[in-house]
Structure 1
């Protein structure tokens, strides 16, 4: 059997119908905030039980040190490869005998600097 809205709903509806325009009250009914009006204010009801705390999650096991070392080696290889590609792209920009867009040069230099910072970690 499911529980109905309870007698507080009738009080809220009645309060909304009979309230003067200037009198409003903000009341809580469990997790719901009610805006009611009238001179009576908020009507006390049975206090709602506090929300249940989420179940504690089991501690994460972490990563095995050998697996983490392998991931670090792979990450470093990828970053070094990207750095070589960016350096080659910058060299190609500067040695083409053509006018280089300053924004393109700056982008390549910024990428190289960012990759070096990442490798320094």
Structure 2
């Protein structure tokens, strides 16, 4: 019991926790860096919602890889535009693990043929008939 008490009283546990936190941070950032540099694929995603949690703002999005729906989210900075919801953007993801992805809000996609090929259904808005003041 003496060894355990001396271990807890020393600063060694703090060192192990700090070392573990550093290794975990390097692993998670290195994993994304590795996948984006070696297995990058681009696709099209649709922004589904913008959510504010505490002081952070997130954009949720979805995209399809081989018919499977992948959900993702990205933290937004100070620039938030509510009109992004329902719009399509380019998405960068790993071909080995599509759960590693990044929405590119600076690259909107307007080509409806490419959007349909990406697995999305485009809703057609009905045109309103213009009022003709001379017609009865």
Task: Give the TM bin, normalised by the shorter chain.
Answer: under 0.3
Q: Which has the higher contact order (CA 8 A, sep 6+)?
A: 2
TM-score by length of structure 2 reads 0.25
More strand by share: 2
- What TM-score, normalized to structure 1? 0.27
Greater gyration radius: 1
Larger fraction in helix: 1
